[in-house]
Amino acid sequence: MIAPPKCYDRNCKHYLGVDQPDGTEMTERVICEAYPEGIPGEIAYGTYPHLKVREDQDNEIVFEENQ
């Protein structure tokens, strides 16, 4: 099991959880509505708070606190 990402700790309303594409822990990745294929490490575990749309996104979803 991977560590909870900062988006989970910050209570982002777009965070979806952990995905296991092949059903095993070997392929675990954290996902959200902005990054359904896997949240980049600098957002999930780094210092980037994802307050602005990035070039590597296919949408305009950014951090929003879950109310």
What does the pLDDT look like over 15-49, one tens digit per residue?
Answer: 999 999 999 999 999 999 999 999 999 999 999 99
Report residue 2's pLDDT band, with 50, 70 and 90 as the boundaries.
Answer: confident
Distances 32 to 22, 35, 42 between C-alpha atoms, Å: 18, 5, 14
Q: What is the pLDDT of residue 1?
A: 67
Least confident residue range of 1-5, 10-14, 15-19, 32-36: 1-5
Q: How many domains does the chain fold into?
A: 1
pLDDT(4) > 80: yes
Inter-residue long-range contacts of 19-24, CB under 8 Å, 24+ positions, other chains counted = none
Domain that holds residue 53: 1-67
Let me know: does 65 contact 11? Beta carbons within 8 Å.
yes
- Rounded CA gap, 54 and 33, in Å? 14
